Structure 1
Amino acid sequence: MGTDELLLPRSRQANERLHSMIPGGAHTYAKGDDQYPENLAPVISHGRGAHVWDIDGNRYVEYGSGLRSVSLGHAHPRVTEAVRREIDRGSNFVRPSIVEAEAAERFLATVPTAEMVKFAKNGSDATTAAVRLARAVTGRPRVAVCGDHPFFSVDDWFIGTTPMSAGIPARTTELTVAFPYGDLAATEELLTRYRGEVACLILEPAGHTEPPPGYLTGLRDLADRHGCVLVFDEMITGFRWSEAGAQGLYGVTPDLSTFGKALGNGFAVSALAGRRELMERGGLRHSDERVFLLSTTHGAETHSLAAAMAVQTVYTEEGVTARLHALGERLAAGVREAAAGMGVGDHVVVRGRASNLVFATLDENHRPSQQYRTLFLRRLLAGGVLAPSFVVSSALDDADIDHTVDVVAQACAVYRKALDAADPTPWMAGRPVKPVFRRLA
Structure 2
Amino acid sequence: MHVMVLGGGVTGLATAWYLACDGHEVTVVERNAEVALESSYANGGQLSYSYVAPLAGPGVLSKLPQWLTQPHSPVQFRPRADPDQWRWLLKFVLACTRAQSELATRRLVALSFLSRDLMRDLLNREPTLSFDYAKTGKLVVYRNEDSFASARRLLHFQRSLGCEQHVLTARECTAAEPSLDGLGLNLAGGIFTPSEETADCYKFCVGLAAKLRSKKVRLLLGTEVTSLRADRGRRAHRITVHANGREIAADQVVVCAGAASPDLLRPLGIKIPLYPLKGYSLTAQILARDAAPHMSVTDFDRKIVYARLGDRLRIAGMADIAGRDATPDPSRIESLRSEAARAFPLAGDYARAQAWCGLRPATPTSTPVIGATRFANLWLNLGQGALGFTLALGSGLLISELVTGRRPSVPLDGFAVPS
**TM beyond 0.5:** no
TM-score (norm 2): 0.27
TM-score (norm 1): 0.26
The structure that is helix-richer by fraction is 1
Specify the structure having the higher radius of gyration (Cα).
Answer: 1
The structure that is strand-richer by fraction is 2
